Chain A
Amino acid sequence: MLLPTGKQSDGSNEDFRTNSFAEVGVMSQYVEAGLRMEYLEHPLPGYEHDFAGWGIPYYYVKGKLKRAELTLGTFYEQFGSGFILRTYEDRSLGIDNSLLGARLTVEPLKGIRLKALSGKQRRYWTHNDAWVSGGDAELSIDTWAKALQQSAVSLTLGASWVNKHESADDDRIMNGAYLLNLPENVNAFDLRARMQRKGLSILGEYAWKTQDPSFDNGYIYRKGHVAMLSTSYSKKGMSLLLQAKRSDNFSFRSRRTMHGTSSMINHLPAFTEDHTYTLAALYPYATHPEGEWAYQGQFSYQLKRKTALGGRYGTTLKLNFSHVHAIDQSPHGMFIPQQQTWMYGSGTDGYGSAFWKWGDETYYQDLNIQLERRLSKSVKLNLMYMNQFYNKTVVEGEGGMIHSDIIVADVLFNLSPKTRLRTELQYLATDDDQGDWAFALAELSLVPHWMVTLSDLWNCGDTKAHYWQTYLTYSTGAHRLQLGWGRTRAGFNCSGGVCRYIPETKGVTLSYNYNF
């Protein structure tokens, strides 16, 4: 809940805002049911207009019998990595793209899992007209192959299909004197293989989509493709992750004319680290739906304790590198014989794209090094340095490339068995956008119930504005109550490559959580 003070940057005059949820479920051996009530009539700032409303948008009943499970009502589902289907809820982003319909999950034989589903997708307080249907099969080959079992190798193959059926009667898009003949069926397919042996895991996944002219791609008829390869290795004291992904024209919505954060059927993960430190998360990257090459490498190493480098208690080093780049795009027109002219844009294939070739622009790059070290029994230190390139024009629509250096020092003091003090100092240096930023935080925990947090985010470069916040938190059992007062900066809240713009706010906040 927010009780705003002063003039609100989104221009509203509402003096009480809240996003409230109450969820209840029951389950037995054979039947499970649940529902969720939402009160969003006066939502927190920054959500789309249609987000406002209240009611019970989530309700389901699930029957389980032997190797089969049938869900009727609202459900969330993901096929593979989510390239062709991912429905989920993220309250901070205002995303809930659940399906209302039916889903059947069957394990006909051990090591085989099949799913079939169909439904209409939720968009805030309505459901889009399109039918979304699909199927998924996963085979655990090692269940059957003794050789794999003996080698301790796990091999899983997966295949998925999703169909969107959307009438084209009401969507009239013209290019010059021509009305577009829009496909009413869009099919997407996904193939994947995952191999695991001890600490090594390799995942390869490829997805493609038939013609899907939409607002997101300018109503072109080019098919979409995503390819991903991810490898990770871990053993005691060390872990390594290397992954690459290429996406091309793979925005997939249940309403072709929609834009914004709603109505997405699929989800393309961002290969960038989700940072928790404030200044590291100041410029968060959002996955570019038109297409991108994304690479990520993460390395973590534990320096042993009681060594010269590791110190008395050991030291953890983490290194992360992410790079996101445009794909090659060469405009492709279509010759119109009746007019003896070339047509570009909507109605054509749009562009051609050489698979391995990069486009001209860097979208995002992030190199960060973190060190975690316990200095004594009562003091633990985290240090981080990050060098970041953020293409604000691509992500937010304006602003150019922002190149910044960020340092973070995070120290935890165990003052007594029941008292902990955590402090953070952060600095972001840049010649771009609003210039330098500084951040300081002190968080006092009085175990087990109380926590007091004070912080200030200061734009010491351009505006000289201070964004201070104070929080008092009380937790007991399943209850958590937080009271806050302060001012938040306008910016983006991002998770997994999806972002929501939040306008500046100032006021008193109250948050209550109860899990039972």
Chain B
Amino acid sequence: MKTYTSASFSTFLSLASCLSLLILVLLTACSDITEEERLIYTPPVGVTRAVLIEDFTGQRCLNCPTAHETIEKLQQQYGADKVIAVSIHGGALAVNNTETIIGLRTTLGDNYNKLWNIESWPSGIINRNSGILTNDQWAAKVYEEIQRPVEMQLEVSPEYDDSKNILSVHVTGTPWKEFHGYLQVWLVEDSIVAPQQMPDGKMNREYIHNNVLRESISNWTGDNITDGNGHEIVLKSMEPFTRNYKISVNEAYRHSDHLAIVAFAYDENGVWQVVKEPIRNHVSDSES
């Protein structure tokens, strides 16, 4: 029967120690990235199109203000007409509106959370082709999307008759290649003062919420592009389309000066174009 001596154990231990130390030093040294190597400068790019950020958020989400800051920085960098964000309040961390609390949660927001399987907040979807991203991934995706060639020209013209509370929205679009997709039209509101949980855990009751999704003017999953007879069609390159909508605005916010229309066209590959148009420049009073 073979016996093991202390000598053989000591030899083994010495060899193992030296080998381990060598491996340790090599692995640690190879892994480190110095400060000079960490950052890769990305040159400014030509902004050719607008990008949509769907920001899934909630007033009880303490990390969501950080995501809102990310949106603001991107809008400062590229222009607020090129980075168009819509903040969708829904899910477990959103707050219902009550008599005592201004809550921004909507059934529509809850439905979008379920549709995209949002399980944590903040989360975002960029141009409907990114998958669900955390807010630290948004900048890189926006950088990538904003350089892509324009695929569609899209214009939206709202008209609001204050006396009758009728909001008319006229959308025109011209795809630059064949398009078979949907048109989504939303009503959003900026500058809403309402509570928001902050990263330090405290509640800021005077927080200014922007880009808040109020309601969907089109079908909540978008409208098919149709011909004059209501038949779904595939648009050829440079074939224009129009859609007209008429709604009454919810009494709770119809007098707001910060309402806007966000309209975008998308298919299974993502958003082709997105535009945002404030309503306050298009208010009339038919009875005056």
Contact = CB atoms under 8 A, between A and B. Distances in A.
B42 A398 contact: no
B206 interface: no
Nearest to A361: B201
A14 to B, nearest CB: 13
Given A173-B137, A180-B40, A221-B33, A393 B27 contact: no
A183 B31 contact: yes
Interface string A328-340: 0000001010100
A192 to B, nearest CB: 14
A177 B44 contact: yes
Interface residues of B, number: 46
B231 interface: no
A400 B197 CA distance: 11
B234 interface: no
Nearest to B7: A144
B24 A181 contact: no
Given A11-B114, A398-B201, A400-B201, A173 B6 contact: no
Contacts of B197: 397-398
Contacts of A183: 31, 33
A178 B40 contact: yes
Interface residues of A, number: 51
Contact of A180 (B23, B39, B73): B39
Interface string A277-308: 00000000000000000000000000000000
Given A48-B119, A210-B27, A211-B31, 13 more contacts: A159-B20, A172-B144, A174-B42, A175-B139, A178-B41, A181-B39, A189-B24, A218-B136, A260-B119, A393-B62, A398-B62, A398-B197, A400-B201
A187 B27 contact: yes
A112 B12 contact: yes
Contact of A221 (B16, B20, B38, B63): B38
Nearest to B17: A159
A175 B28 contact: no
B136 to A, nearest CB: 6
A218 B8 CA distance: 49
A397 B93 contact: yes
B4 A109 contact: yes
Contacts of A85: none
B117 interface: yes
A187 to B, nearest CB: 5
B120 interface: yes
A145 B5 CA distance: 10
19 contacts: A49-B119, A109-B8, A109-B9, A137-B16, A144-B6, A144-B9, A159-B20, A173-B139, A177-B42, A178-B41, A179-B42, A180-B38, A210-B28, A221-B38, A257-B134, A338-B41, A397-B60, A397-B63, A398-B62
A259 interface: yes
A187 B33 CA distance: 13
Interface string B12-36: 1100100010011001101111010
A173 B142 CA distance: 11
Contacts of A343: 39
Nearest to B24: A189
A388 to B, nearest CB: 18
A183 B38 CA distance: 9
Interface in A228-273: 257, 259-260
Interface of B: 4, 6, 8-9, 12-13, 16, 20, 23-24, 27-28, 30-33, 35, 37-44, 60-63, 73, 93, 110, 114, 117, 119-120, 134, 136-137, 139-141, 143-144, 197, 201
Contacts of B201: 393-394, 398, 400
A283 B59 CA distance: 23
B9 A174 contact: no
Contact of A260 (B13, B16, B120): B120
B22 to A, nearest CB: 12
Contacts of B63: 397
Contacts of B37: 181
Nearest to B123: A259
A362 B20 CA distance: 39
Contact of B136 (A49, A176, A346, A393): A346
B62 A174 contact: no
Nearest to B40: A179
B64 to A, nearest CB: 10
Interface in A151-192: 159, 161, 163, 171-181, 183, 185-187, 189
Nearest to A157: B13
A11 B44 CA distance: 44
A194 B8 CA distance: 23
A185 B31 contact: yes
Contacts of A397: 60-63, 93, 197
Q: Which of A174, A179, A398 has the most CB of B within 10 A?
A: A174
B5 to A, nearest CB: 9
A283 B136 CA distance: 30
Contact of B31 (A112, A186, A394): A186
A215 interface: yes
Contacts of B139: 173-175
A163 B30 CA distance: 12
